[in-house]
A and B are shown apart, each in its own frame.
Chain A
Amino acid sequence: MAAPLIVVSRLEKTYLTRAGSRIRALADVTLEVADGEFVTVVGPSGCGKTTLLRILGGLLPASSGTVELLGRRVTGPGRKVGMVFQDPVLLPWRTVLDNVMVPVIVLRLDRQLYRRRALELLALVGLTGFENRYPHELSGGMRQRVSLARALVHDPALLLMDEPFGALDAMTREAMNLELQRIWRESGKTVLFITHSIPEAVFLGDRVVVMSPRPARVVDMVTVDLPRPRDLDVMGSDSFGVYTRKIRQMLGPKGWLE
């Protein structure tokens, strides 16, 4: 395994609500992700997955514990990370291409150079010909592809994805999973992908991190030894079933995922 790109150690997060009560969202989360690895995180909804991702992305301070990215403490947002949120969060007044260019503008990168890259990424996510459309002219799946291209445009080392396909219908979602695998293989990025779908986690991940209900702890890490590239047929295979059953057993008996 290559050197870890990201090291999460003993991460704790307790929210203080307006009413003054405390909500413990993360309890002692320790995790390493290797360079180039695709790690998926499954856990019941409301357990603290988004909290973990926001801390990794520097959007939220941890209560205690540390996050190191490329050997340096994460204390705030930085250009080494690209984020894909649950909603595509596109700016409706900008064209598809201009949306992808937002990080380039904010980070003051060379616009000429990165415009080419943005166009290449739009091709990579299958949106050639849609560069000058506006977000409201796209379907949900297409919008999330734009958001993916935007997260990649400034060439981050780490891609953080928070249930990006959760709002899509089942068929579009499977198609997006296939495409994400291809994009990941072509771009060589490290991906941390959050989901509450066990099949999605197994299909995409080199490793699946299984989390407990709130406060989230790492229950287990399952290494998925299925050959790449995986196609949708793999979901019907015996070994795929073994993985999903194993994870469901960790989460299922108490109905955590429901």
Chain B
Amino acid sequence: MSVLEDADAPVERLSPLQEFCRAPGAFIRERPHVPLVPLILVVVVGAWEVIVRAGHLPDFLLPAPSAVGRALASGLSSRLYLEHFWITFSESLLGFLIAAAAGIAFGTVIAQFRLLERTLYPYLVALQTLPKIAIAPLLIVWLGFGFSSKVVIAALVAFFPVLVNVIVGLKTVDAGKLDLMRSLDASRWQTFRLVTFPNALPFVFAGLDIAIVFCVLGAIVGEFVGSQRGLGNLILQFHTSLDIAGMFAVLLLLAALGVGLHLVIQTIQRRVIFWAQADHVIGA
């Protein structure tokens, strides 16, 4: 093997933490955003606190960050928030899992048969453009105020991004890979298993990443429309009692839920489609 070729073999990649420990100065010079991201948070929250205190704004209009922090701490310690959090979390996750399974299954079937795709296409477009959360009141009527109606709304909202991405992913295969399979006289199933399906995975994960955000949205809207429990219900309760600090605290919990779920998807994605990630790095 020539020396030339070894030269463009990739070097071992360090984790950001390892890089920071090795040369903190250079690390920050190359990535000035790393210290800036938390700095912005500190500045904004600090300014907010100062403005609220100096302006003597009443708590029922805009609570200071410290008041929100107190509300959050007391809500968490009384386990009140956690119960509601758990409800919304399970509704969202279950809805997501249903949407993911159904989206992958239907998308795969639809992408296999051109006639099926063409027949269903106008309906898919119609359903996709319909704001799914508008169906929420109907589902509450059909399924009641409990857990199941929220799961169905979450699943419904999250289903379409998965479906669409699966179909697009399965149809976006480069001709060379299909030629390779054809040159070996591969069966449809072999081509699907060895090329088309793994090739679609980056699209599938893009869909799942949208779906995981959408399913929380669906669950919350469902709780707004009719529920006895959940973080959406808690927001309505605080709204009635004008507990604005409590509402902010719930929003923080929702943000944490969203970010947490997104990170879970990203972690799985990084493991499953590590090969696509490497391409992104080169493209970035």
Q: Mark A residues whose CB is within 8 Å of B.
A: 57-59, 76-79, 81, 83, 85, 87, 89, 91-93, 102-103, 105-107, 126, 134-139, 141-142, 169, 171-172, 175
Contact = CB atoms under 8 A, between A and B. Distances in A.
Nearest to B275: A92
A106 B194 contact: yes
B25 to A, nearest CB: 30
Contacts of B180: 83, 85, 89, 102
B interface, size bucket: 20 to 34
Contacts of B2: 141, 171-172, 175
Given A76-B185, A92-B276, A175-B2, A85 B179 contact: yes
B53 interface: no
B198 A78 contact: no
A78 B182 CA distance: 9
The 8 closest A-B pairs by CB, nearest first: A92-B275, A89-B176, A106-B184, A136-B278, A106-B186, A77-B185, A139-B8, A83-B183
Interface string B164-183: 00000000000011011111
A139 to B, nearest CB: 5
B190 interface: yes
Chain B contact residues, majority secondary structure: helix
Interface of B: 1-2, 4-5, 8-10, 176-177, 179-186, 190, 194-195, 198, 201, 273-276, 278-279, 282
8 contacts: A83-B180, A89-B176, A89-B179, A102-B184, A106-B181, A106-B185, A106-B186, A142-B5
Contacts of A59: 179, 182-183
B279 A105 contact: no
B177 A105 contact: no
Contacts of B274: 134
B195 to A, nearest CB: 7
User: Could you say which of B4, B182, B184, B190 has the most chain A C-beta atoms within 10 Å of its C-beta?
Assistant: B184
A142 B179 CA distance: 21
Contacts of A79: 184-185
B194 A91 contact: yes
Given A59-B183, A85-B179, A92-B276, 17 more contacts: A77-B182, A79-B184, A87-B176, A89-B180, A91-B177, A91-B194, A92-B275, A92-B279, A102-B180, A102-B184, A106-B186, A106-B190, A136-B279, A137-B278, A141-B5, A142-B5, A171-B2
A91 B186 CA distance: 15
